[in-house]
């Protein structure tokens, strides 16, 4: 799974997802728990939604020209732990 970058308007409230399907298929496992770290300047709305192979976090806020890194860490049913990042740049759209 590659790291993803997105442009977000400061007034937007959007969902961002981490697709773990390729890796989870390789290790023959599923997600047990997930946490998403949302940096200062952005607000995570609610808790991450966890599916069998996907984690989604709703995010709002951010300062124009700000660059932010959201980190999703999962623990699998089999006890594996891994994390992936999404990068957001805030720009008027």
pLDDT digits (tens, 9 = 90+) for 61-84: 999 999 999 999 999 999 999 999
Give pLDDT, residue 3: 62
Nearest of 41, 43, 52, 45 to residue 74 by alpha carbon = 52
**Largest Cα span, the chain:** 43
Provide the pLDDT confidence category of residue 1 given band limits of 50, 70 and 90.
Answer: very low
Give the pLDDT mean for 38-63: 97
All structural domains of the chain: 4-90 (2.60.40.10)
Least reliable range by pLDDT among 2-6, 19-23, 32-36, 73-77: 2-6
Residue 36: partners with Cβ closer than 8 Å, 6 or more residues away: 44, 48, 55, 57, 70, 71, 72, 73
């Amino acid at each position: 799974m590659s790291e993803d970058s997105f442009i977000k308007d400061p007034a937007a409230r959007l969902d961002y997802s981490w697709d773990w399907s390729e890796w989870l298929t390789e290790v023959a496992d599923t997600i047990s728990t997930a946490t998403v770290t949302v940096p200062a300047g952005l607000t995570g709305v609610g808790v991450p939604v966890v599916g069998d192979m996907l984690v989604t976090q709703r995010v709002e806020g951010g300062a124009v020209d700000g660059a932010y890194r959201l980190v999703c860490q999962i623990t699998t049913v089999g006890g594996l732990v891994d994390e992936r990042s999404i990068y957001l740049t805030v720009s008027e759209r």
